[in-house]
Amino acid sequence: MDVNEFAVKFGAIVSEPGLSPESALDTLDGWDSLGQVTFIAFARRQFGQVLNVEKMKSAKTVSDLYNMVSGG
C-alpha cells in the first residue's frame, strides 16, 4: 500500500474523503479518540503493527502516520 492509497483508506477511517498525504491531522474532526482507536485496529490488521499510542498522537500529517505503520 503506497502513501496515496493509505490516505484514501485513512480518509474512510476519519470520515473525511479527499485527504492527501500532506493533510494535517489537527484539522480533522474524525481524528478524535474514537478515530484513533479505529486507526490502531487498522494498523494492527493491515500492517501487523502495534502502535505506540503516544507517538501516534504526536503525528502531524497523514504521511507521518503512514511512515509510522509502514516503517518508512
Partner 1 sequence: MSFSKIAAVAYYLPERILSDSELAGLHPDWDIARISQKTGIVERRRAGEDETALDLGVKAAERLFAESGLLREAIDAAIFCTQNPDYILPPNSCLAHARLGLRAGIPAYDLSHGCAGFVSALSMADALVRAGMARHVLVITADTYSKRMNPDDRTVQTLFGDAGAATLVTESDTECVGSFAFDTDGSGAKNLIVPMSGARGGEVEGTASPGLRGPKDLYMNGREIMAFALSKVPELMDQSLGQAGLSVGDVDWFVFHQANVFMLENLKAICGLPDDKFVVNMQKIGNTVSASIPIALRMAKDEIAGFGGKILVAGFGVGYESGAAIIRM
Virtual CA dihedral for 42, 44, 48, 50, nearest 10 degrees? Answer: 130
Kindly tell me which of 2 and 50 has the beta carbon lying closer to partner 1: 50
Cα Rg of the chain, angstroms: 11
User: 3-13 and 33-47 are packed helices; what angle lies between their axes, rounded to 10 degrees?
Assistant: 140
Kindly tell me which of 44 and 60 has the beta carbon lying closer to partner 1: 44
Q: Counting contacts by CB under 8 A, is residue 59 touching partner 1?
A: no
Minimum distance from CB of 60 to partner 1 (Å)? Answer: 18
Looking at 40, 47, 61, 64, which residue binds partner 1 (CB under 8 A)?
Answer: 40
Cell representation of residue 53: 499510542
> How many residues touch partner 1 (CB under 8 A)?
14
Looking at 5, 12, 53, 60, which residue binds partner 1 (CB under 8 A)?
Answer: 53
Residue type at 40? I
